[in-house]
Each structure stands twice: as structure tokens, then as C-alpha cells.
Structure 1
Amino acid sequence: MKKFLTLLIMMCVVSFMKPAQACTNFLITPGASVDGSSMISYAADSHVLYGELYHYPAADYPEGAMREIVEWDTGRYVGRIPEVSHTYNVVGNMNEWQLAIAETTYGGLEGLENPEGLIDYGSLIYITLQRSKTAREAIKTMAELVANYGYISSGESFSIADPNEVWIMELIGKGQEKGAVWVALRIPDGYVSGHANQARITTFPLANKQNKNSITSKNIDKLLKNPNIDCVYAEDVISFAKKNNLYAGPDGQFSFSDVYAPVDFSGARACEIRVWAMFNQVVDGMDQYWDYATGRNINRAKPYVKGEAQTPENFPTNRMPLWVKPNEKVSVLDMMAFMRDHLEGTELDMTQDVGAGPFHCPYRSRPMGWEIDGVEYVHERATATQQTGFSFVAQCRTTPINNIGGIIWFGVDDAASTVYCPMYTCMTEIPLCFREGNGGIMEYSETAAFWIFNQVTNWAYTKYEYIHPEIAKKQAAYEQGWVDGIAKVDERAAELYQEDPAKAVEYLTRFSSKEAEKLTADWREFYKYLFVKYMDFNIKEAQTTPKSYKYYAPKVQQPKYSEEYYRAIIEQTGDKLKVY
């Protein structure tokens, strides 16, 4: 997600390929989840993205109707394309049929964006959600949209899920040529995957007599007819690279990521490390990829040279796998926890160096990179970050009634401090606190959850080790409560659906709106409580007023800095503060 965003991960001289934004996706197949759901998560990270829940109501259109295309990042009008006769209800990044799509931008090689194209990556997502029921339909729709109308954005990784399966699709433009080159792979059931602004699909099974489960875009209709197909790719994904002197090796060893988006230090340290952090929580043995994920050792037989055609000898040999099989099944609460990671428990734990300040805050001001005495350094880019506009966990469930089963667990602001609220994707109206147009990135609104959560979170940054535990306690109570109570909500919705489907939709709309507004009101009061308690570097605790007193002062704590931090002060100030 790069909505109106400037470069965030310019961390080394070769980071010209890295995207102008930073988002994170994790993907869980039904066989890898506790309840058999497919799940994808998404953090839309941008310093100027406003957190709101998008809504595209279902609609019917007359023959000849046209749809305006407005670039998602910039708001620029691009053009028009023909509209279809019927579009589906979409709430956020999930539609009424429980199709969910998310993305991270990896950028890729320069010169492959096509300014004459009509379809940007944001439009590609939301048009597809309005026109497709399944992950397979979505892949076909996306491929046809960019082929027919041209692709205007840089390289993207897409997470595509429905209740039955999860796919990863990576796509990049063809410069002055119309369309895009791409590869889509179904994640094996029982496995999990992730991507975070670095292309991750390397080699893939080519369509031939030995690989009957692979097809090219030439035969994309088979994707909908044959459930065994688990790889589909643009017919010219390899030939385009060879024709443009990007690749000079055997077709069978072609690596999409290594040709179209070669990983460098920033691609590993700011991007792949977020995938590593999630994998490290679900499988053993991730230590072997630590040097790669930190960018300290990207092992190539021959160095990558910009502008030269690559061969397999230029490809890294120590990359992480695209997917892993978790030791234990993953729950929706686990997914929320993955989104809140700050590299805790590693040598790069963001709460443990002097940059965290005296109260161990795991966030750093931008820019991420800086130079001292001719040496370049970086701040870490963890999954949870302060500039998140919104994030979610999309839960595609195998419920008896498919079109009232989808839930997008939606939150605004920093994922570590947000509360993921269940929004049923059949809902027909968005609650005011999340509604588009209720405030903006430069327009404060007292009724917008984005601003209320930002008040709490930004206050927490000032005394993080004391305030954040209070946030986490309330966060856990809300989320666990909703997870525990969803079954009863589903049961009541199913009863109403038998009477009248519209009644079930109305009920779930009311439930989602009520819970979101209740949360927002509570968080508003929570900010008041936290501000009073922690103002002026104090921690105040109210005391019972004795009967003989008109008022009684609160108990006041003034926590000292850690010895480590005091030593840092002395190291910088010498004897200036010494008592004589």
C-alpha cells in the first residue's frame, strides 16, 4: 500500500528497486488453521493513509454502462472501462462471497511501469472483489483486466483467499508493452505463507506433460474447470524477460522474483525479515535463514549487476521457502498477534536499544536509514509500525451459509495497539466510526476511530513500557470476547436467514456497527483515563478520600530510568550533571 506515500525504505545505495511503501501480508490455508478457515492479514502502512473501512454496495448496471478508474494512491482520474451487469457487496478487502484480496508492493525493476495503462493495483483489487466469487475467478479477472486495459503500477504481490484455498500472485508491468507478466501459485493446504514488499515467488512448475497441474494464461479458463490446477502464469513471463535482456538462463530455472525484483539488503532487512518473524513463530529451524533475513549474507555464486541479464548463478541460494508447514494450527488470535511483532526475542528487538528511549518504545522516527562518518546505518522495520492506516485479518469460513459467513477483523492505526473488531462482509452499512468521509488524514473527527485510536497510541509512545500493557489488556479482552461469542451470533444469523436472508444481513450489519461504535466510545474514555494517569511523567493512582477530608491527593509514582539509560546519559554528558 503506497497511498500518497514517499520513499520509506531507502536504506542503501542499491535500494532503487524497493517500493515507496511498506505493507505486510500473512496467508493461512484451511488445513493450517484451527477452525478450517482460510485467513489473510494486511497492514496498510503509510504516513498519509487515513484509516477507514471501504464499502462498495452490490449494484446492477444497464448494458453499456462505464466505470471510472481513479488511481487509488493519488486520486487521479485515469479513464473508463466497461462495467459488468452486476457487482457484489464489498466491505474493506472482502466481498459477500468471502473472497478476500490483499497486497504488498515490491516495486521491482525500473522501467516496467506503463504510464499509458488504465488499471492500478488498488483498482485491480476492488474491481476484482466486485466481479469475482472465488480465488480462481479473481486470478482470471485480474489477469484479464491488466491484459485488456494495461497495468499502470509497479510490482505487486497479492494474497487471494476464499473459504477453500489461498493463492499468492505476483505481477509486474511490461513497460511500454500493454499488460503484465505474472505468476500465481496455490499455497498447499496445511501450509502458511507471507510477503512484505519483496517479491517471493522464485521458480515454479512450467506447463508441460510432466506438470499437468500448471497452465499458462493461454489456457486460463481451465483454472475454473480443473480444481487440481495449482500454478498459472502469464504465457510470456519468461520470454518477455529474455527478449528484454533480463534473463539468459534455462526456462526451467527461471525465478520470477530474482529476475523481476532481485533481493538486496533493504529487500531482506526491511521486508523479508517480517516474513521471517512470522515463520519463526510457527516452525522450527528458522535460525538458518537469519543471516539472509537480516541482509548480512545474501549468498550468490555471482553478484547481481544492475542492467545485465541474469542467470541462475546470480540467484541467491539461501532464500527462505515461500511457504512452511506450521507446528500447530493457527487461530485468528494468532494472526492478530503476528501483526503486532517488533522482532521481540531476537537480537534486533526494537525495545532494547537506546533508540527505544527510557521507556522501551519499539518505534523509530523516519527516515529509516542514516549515515554517520561515511557509514550507513538503519532502524529496523518490524511488522507493527506507527504509520499504519488500517489493518485486518480476513477470515473466510466454511459456514453452511457462505454469503453471511465472512468476517474481516478490522482495526485502525498501529496494529500493536489497535483492536480487531469483527465486521461481517455481508453488511450493508459501515459504522460511522469507520466510515469513509468521516474525517481525513488532515481533518480531525471526534467520531472517527482512526483519530481516537491515534490519541491512545501516540500517548502510549511517551511511556510505552507502562501504558502499552494497559492497552494490551483491554485489547485482549475485546478480541477474546468476540472470538468466544461469534458462534452465537452465527447461530442467530442462520435462524434469521431461514426466515428471510435480508433479516440475517440486517442483524449482522447491526451487530458489526454496534460493536464498532461501542469499542470507539470506550477507547475515547480510555484515552481520558490514560492522559490523567500518566501526564507530566507521573503515574497517578486515585486514593479513597477519608471521611474527614474534603479531598485526598492521588498516590504518585515517578519511575526512574533504567541503569542502562542513566549510563547512556553519563556517557554523553560526562561530569556536567555530577553532584559535588
Structure 2
Amino acid sequence: MALVRGLVISILVFMIAIPASFGCTTFVVTDEASEDGSVFVGHTNDGFGTGLVANRIREDMVVFRHVPAKDHMEGAKRQVIYDPNSGGEFLGEASSSETESVVIGEIPEINHTYAYITGSYGIINEHQLMSGECTDYAKIHPSAEKDKRIFYSSELSNIALERCKTAREAVLLIGDLIETYGYYGTGETLIFADPEDAWVIEMCGGTPDGTGGYWAAQQITPGHVFVAANEFRIRELDYNDHHQLFSENLVDDAQKMGWYDPSDGPLDWAKVFGIGEYSHPYYSQSRVWRIMDILAPSLKLSPYVEGPFSKAYPFSVKPDSPVNTSESFSLFRDHYEGTVFDLTAAPAGGPFGDPYRVWGPFDLHDAPYEGELKPGSWARPISTDPCGYSYVCQGRKDLPAIIGGICWLGLSSPAETCYVPFYAGIYRLPTPYLHGSHWEFNLNSAFWPFELLQNWARFMYNQISPVIKAEQSRLESDALARQPDIEAKALELYKQNITEARMFLTAYTDQTAVDTINSWMNLTGKVIVTYRNGNYNDVRNKTIQNVGYPDWWYELSGYQYGPRVYDMEGLQSIPDVKYTGKVANVTGDPIAYISEYQT
């Protein structure tokens, strides 16, 4: 026992020094919790975004793929690709395919695989199976090893969309793959939802013999909303609860490793196998609180908790009112405005309420050890500037799957993006979404038009953000308004010829995406011209207005010590000079006046 425990601790200490690649937020709104019976699954990819190109994972890409449905020969093998963003390094030699992907193992292929859309993780398939993800810290983050630990959550999500039609099928498949082929890398939360059901599965590695892995899954209560943000969310496990599923060896192994004592009560998955929040207190839990509080303010949930494994926030909540599509988008656009964590507030938000922060030394994704108190951190918002992309998938049981399923996809930070509909039945993705790099400025890619405007908005955020939101609302409202007619036409074609229906949806998706990017580029040009050099430049009237700073900023920045009198030495010698923003008519000594009236 001592040897096993010592090995576990040494691996843990080594692995928590490796930063996780992502810091995502994910949620699901069940059909009974939505306004029109839709199921919504949301995901933000907040690690600067990665993508898959011809099965190759690239850290510098923001790209997406549409993987077509395929028939496979008897005895075919499905290659499993190593994910370098997993937090688990690759051990041993790796074979490479023609695309230079690292093939870490193979599993038997099935006769037929479904079409799906994927980015860093699987997104949605042609049967309206939807997925969301967030990374979690677990007690152990094992390295990848060929034919021993070959799966990370990214490949598991893709395989689930290739092979499954329902959320429960996806959870059972992933659990079996983890136990059979092993798991490496960070802990992970995956959401799977179909138009009638939703499940959460959480996973990690670290079995005593170094093979297999651990997983726990829980069904989301109909009529509820679930949220996860970089910390395991499943708690006590119960063999008799038919709403839960988990690996058979989980409880026994937890006892062997000294992590769990049955006398403590039911095994708490998050507490026994996880190590709490990313980086610092409230990094994860404040985002869970925020979404729950927005949707269910009647619960009066406190933004403050007693520790990393607090039970102050339930597994899921029933919203006070049904959630519609636009509201599901807005959940990702939050910076805690109006709350104790408000990132737009002074002084850190600056004179124009910029909600984004350059990371400080203690904002990085290093796991705090027990009892560690870091000197300081910024609040971690839901909409964050490192975000590569986000989406809200929509599934509807009253329509054929290829029409009912939509991925509303947005590039860059959610608060400054525009969500574009990608129907589940399309044959291909729009060209601008097939390429894009963080290191190469290219306005022909989907990423850079949105990233450019997001960065420009930070110069004068409280001035520019309303302009962005207005165009955002216009474009998204137009797309939502078009849905009934587009889907009625697609349904008419579907009844006659499914191929024609899919071609119609492909053409519509492509044109809408291109039109949205063009509209965004026009908006970017107008914003750059209008808000230039700290002024408001009225293009129509050819006038320039100095926006200026708020009085509190002048006071905080020492503006009152500028060249207002010739006797600068005398001015600077006066303690506690305040900025009044008023002009005074002074007779006699201006220093005496300032001493008497502005201190």
C-alpha cells in the first residue's frame, strides 16, 4: 500500500506542473427547460483554440472539419490519434501516418460511421447527438503510452459522434473504451445530449496498474440546466441510482490508493478523484454560480462558497423561466456585470470598462496545492479573450435530424462574436472555417475578422461594445427569423429527396457564414474609423468629438498634477489634491486657492 501511495503522489506532483490546454465552460439545457422544446449544448474553447486537419492536431490552428459518413470493410481498424494538448506526454515510439499524425493505437472499426462536425472536440453529428467539454484537474494525469493508455477525451468525443445516436449510448461507449484501452492526460468533463436526453460523463486516469481509467456519468434531470467549468461536478455515487453509471473498479481502487474510506459515506467522485478548481478559488465555481444565478435567481445562490468542493451549487437547476435560443447565446457573453466579480468595474476595468485582463503571475493554470494562498488573481469570466471559438448546439425532436440539429458557431470571444447556424445535415463546411492560424493574420479565415474587432473594442470598450452588440443582435435575430422558412423548405425537399435537402442546407449554411463574415468586416471598418485616436469620429456629419475620461480616472491617474499652474513645485507639495473637473476664476495666489478648495 505504501508503495502504491508513494507512486501516486510522485506522479501527481509531477503532472500538476504541466499546464492544461483549455479552460472551457460548458452547459446543457434540457428540452423541458427550453422555450420551444429544443435541447441546447454549449461549449467555449478557451485555450486559444486548436483544430484538426486531416486527422492532425495542430496547436496553432482554429479550424473545423466535417467528417462524412462512411462504410468500412470487415476487419478494418480505426486509428487513435495522440492529443498533445492533453496534459499527458507521449511515452515510447510513435508510428506516423502520411499526415504526420501520431498514431497511438488502433481499435476495431464498425461497419458504418456517422457524419459529424468537429473542432478540438466533437461537436454534433447527423443524428443530433451533441457534445460539450471542459478540462478538469484530477489527482493523476498519466502520460500516453501506445497500446496501454491510448485515449484522451478529444478522440473519445469524436468516436462517440461517429458511432452513437443517443447520449446514453455515447456514455456507455466511452466508459467501455476507457476501461478497455486506457486513459491519459487531464481529467475531463464531456456532455452528450440528444433531442430527448442528456448525460454528463467525467473521466481520468491513474489506475494502480497503469491501464484502464476511471469514469462516472450522471443523467441530467429533465427540465433542468447543467453547468461545468473546469472542475468535476458529479458528487456522491450510488450503485442503486439508475441515473448514474460509473466504472466497476472505481470504488475498490480508490480504497487501495488510500483516497477513500467507506466509513466516510458514499464515494464523492469530485472530491476523491479531483483536486478542485483550476488556478485559484472561484476560477471554476464562479462561472457555475453565474449561469445558475442568471437562470434561477429565485434560488438566491451566493457567489461565495466555503471551499473547492462546495455543495452550495446543485448538480443542476430548474430555470425560473424557459430558455430560448438567444438567451442560450447570452450565457456565454458574461463578464459578471453588476456582480461582486464585475470585470468592467473600476479601477481594474480602466476608464472604458474593459472586461479583459492580461494574466497576472497567479492567473495561470497551475493547480494550487492544499493550503496554498496566492497573492492575487483576476476573476475568471465566462467570455474570455483567449477563447478560440464557442458554440451552442440545438437539437429538436420534432424535425428530421439533419434539419433539427444546428451548431450555432462563433469565433473569438463570445461577447464579441456572432453565432452562425451550421445544420447537422450539411455535406461540407464553409471555406473560411477550414483554415486559420493564431500566428498568421488572414482576414479570409473565419477567426481573424472576429478577433480583430474583439481586440479593437478593448480600446474604448464601453463605447464600442454596444455597437458590436447591436450588429450581433441584428444578424442573429435575422438568422433566427429565417429558420421557419428555411426549415420548411428543407423539410419539403426532405420528403422528396434527402440528398437535395442536405444540399439545400449546405448552400444556406455556406452563404449565411460568408455573409456574416462580410457584415462583420464592414462593422470592423466602421468601428475603426469611428473610434480612432480616442475620439468619436462622426462620419456622416464629418465632426470629431473628444470622448475623454471619467472624472474618477483623472483623479486616480494624477491628472490634477498636470500643467495647471506655473508653480509646479508648490502644487505638488500640497497633500491630497483632488480633481474637480471645474474651471475656477482665481484672484491672487492659485496655489493658495488649490490648498483651500481642492484638498
Note whether the superposition's TM-score is higher than 0.5: yes
Q: Name the aligned partner's letter for residue 235 of structure 1.
A: E
Note if 1:557 corresponds to 2:545: yes
Q: 1:447 corresponds to which residue? A: 444
2-structure distance, mates of 1:197, 1:135: 21
Q: 1:43 corresponds to which residue? A: 44
Q: 2:154 corresponds to which residue? A: 122
* Equivalent residues in 2 for 1:275-354, closer than 5 Å: 275-284=288-297, 287-292=300-305, 297-298=306-307, 316=309, 318-354=311-347
Q: Name the aligned partner's letter for residue 283 of structure 2.
A: A
Evaluate the alpha carbon distance shift between residue 491 and residue 62 of structure 1 in structure 2; reply closer, same or farther with a 3 A threshold.
Answer: same
1-structure distance, mates of 2:204, 2:44: 21
Give the % identical residues: 28
Evaluate the alpha carbon distance shift between residue 505 and residue 566 of structure 1 in structure 2; reply closer, same or farther with a 3 A threshold.
Answer: same
Evaluate the alpha carbon distance shift between residue 370 and residue 274 of structure 1 in structure 2; reply closer, same or farther with a 3 A threshold.
Answer: closer
Q: Over alpha carbons, which structure has the higher Rg?
A: 2
Q: 1:187 corresponds to which residue? A: 220
> Over residues 190-221 of structure 1, what are the superposed CA-to-partner deviations in whole Å (9 max), with x where a residue is unaligned?
111100001111113323xxx4x2xxxxxxxx
Is the Cα–Cα contact under 8 Å of residues 70 and 78 in structure 1 kept in the other structure?
yes
Q: 1:533 corresponds to which residue? A: 530
Is the Cα–Cα contact under 8 Å of residues 402 and 423 in structure 2 kept in the other structure?
no
Is the Cα–Cα contact under 8 Å of residues 58 and 88 in structure 1 kept in the other structure?
yes
Is the Cα–Cα contact under 8 Å of residues 17 and 110 in structure 1 kept in the other structure?
no
> Over residues 515-569 of structure 1, what are the superposed CA-to-partner deviations in whole Å (9 max), with x where a residue is unaligned?
000001111222111111112222111245xxxxxxxxx2101111111111110
1-structure distance, mates of 2:134, 2:141: 19
Q: 2:254 corresponds to which residue? A: 241
Report how far residue 81 of structure 1 moved: 2.6
Unmatched 5+ stretches in structure 1: 1-13, 214-229, 300-315, 545-553
Q: 1:164 corresponds to which residue? A: 196
Is the Cα–Cα contact under 8 Å of residues 352 and 360 in structure 1 kept in the other structure?
yes
1-structure distance, mates of 2:423, 2:48: 28
* Equivalent residues in 2 for 1:377-388, closer than 5 Å: 377-388=376-387
2-structure distance, mates of 1:482, 1:386: 25
Q: 1:257 corresponds to which residue? A: 270
1-structure distance, mates of 2:427, 2:389: 20
Report how far residue 155 of structure 1 moved: 0.7
Evaluate the alpha carbon distance shift between residue 111 and residue 121 of structure 1 in structure 2; reply closer, same or farther with a 3 A threshold.
Answer: closer
Secondary structure of 2:418's aligned partner = coil
Is the Cα–Cα contact under 8 Å of residues 238 and 266 in structure 2 kept in the other structure?
no
Q: Is the deviation greater in 27-36 or in 438-447?
A: 438-447
Is the Cα–Cα contact under 8 Å of residues 17 and 107 in structure 1 kept in the other structure?
no
1-structure distance, mates of 2:319, 2:143: 37
Is the Cα–Cα contact under 8 Å of residues 91 and 426 in structure 1 kept in the other structure?
no
Secondary structure of 2:283's aligned partner = helix
Q: Name the aligned partner's letter for residue 566 of structure 1.
A: Y
Q: Name the aligned partner's letter for residue 565 of structure 1.
A: W
Evaluate the alpha carbon distance shift between residue 244 and residue 401 of structure 1 in structure 2; reply closer, same or farther with a 3 A threshold.
Answer: same
Q: Name the aligned partner's letter for residue 562 of structure 1.
A: P
Unmatched 5+ stretches in structure 2: 1-14, 51-60, 86-100, 365-372, 567-599
Q: Name the aligned partner's letter for residue 278 of structure 1.
A: I
Is the Cα–Cα contact under 8 Å of residues 129 and 161 in structure 2 kept in the other structure?
yes
Q: Name the aligned partner's letter for residue 307 of structure 2.
A: I
Q: 1:551 corresponds to which residue? A: none
* Equivalent residues in 2 for 1:180-579, closer than 5 Å: 180-207=213-240, 211=241, 213=242, 230-250=243-263, 252-263=265-276, 266=279, 268-284=281-297, 287-292=300-305, 297-298=306-307, 316=309, 318-367=311-360, 369=362, 376-435=375-434, 438-543=435-540, 554-570=542-558, 575=561, 578-579=564-565
Q: 2:111 corresponds to which residue? A: 85
Evaluate the alpha carbon distance shift between residue 326 and residue 16 of structure 1 in structure 2; reply closer, same or farther with a 3 A threshold.
Answer: farther
Q: Name the aligned partner's letter for residue 542 of structure 1.
A: V
Evaluate the alpha carbon distance shift between residue 44 and residue 170 of structure 1 in structure 2; reply closer, same or farther with a 3 A threshold.
Answer: same
Report how far residue 65 of structure 1 moved: 2.1
Note if 1:141 corresponds to 2:141: no
Secondary structure of 1:423's aligned partner = strand
2-structure distance, mates of 1:89, 1:29: 24
Evaluate the alpha carbon distance shift between residue 109 and residue 574 of structure 1 in structure 2; reply closer, same or farther with a 3 A threshold.
Answer: farther
Q: What is the root-mean-square deviation of aligned Cα atoms in Å?
A: 2.3
Q: Name the aligned partner's letter for residue 348 of structure 1.
A: F
Q: Is the deviation greater in 23-32 or in 64-73?
A: 64-73
Report how far residue 18 of structure 1 moved: 8.2
Report how far residue 469 of structure 1 moved: 0.8
2-structure distance, mates of 1:476, 1:451: 20
Evaluate the alpha carbon distance shift between residue 534 and residue 317 of structure 1 in structure 2; reply closer, same or farther with a 3 A threshold.
Answer: closer
Evaluate the alpha carbon distance shift between residue 110 and residue 148 of structure 1 in structure 2; reply closer, same or farther with a 3 A threshold.
Answer: closer
> Over residues 296-320 of structure 1, what are the superposed CA-to-partner deviations in whole Å (9 max), with x where a residue is unaligned?
x328xxxxxxxxxxxxxxxx56431
Report how far residue 83 of structure 1 moved: 2.0
Report how far residue 67 of structure 1 moved: 2.5
Note if 1:99 corresponds to 2:129: yes
Secondary structure of 1:536's aligned partner = coil
> Over residues 318-349 of structure 1, what are the superposed CA-to-partner deviations in whole Å (9 max), with x where a residue is unaligned?
43111111110011111100000101110210
2-structure distance, mates of 1:331, 1:107: 32
Secondary structure of 1:530's aligned partner = helix
Question: What's the TM-score once normalised by structure 2's chain length?
Answer: 0.81
Report how far residue 506 of structure 1 moved: 0.5
2-structure distance, mates of 1:368, 1:559: 33
Q: 1:220 corresponds to which residue? A: none
Evaluate the alpha carbon distance shift between residue 385 and residue 76 of structure 1 in structure 2; reply closer, same or farther with a 3 A threshold.
Answer: farther
Is the Cα–Cα contact under 8 Å of residues 121 and 156 in structure 1 kept in the other structure?
yes
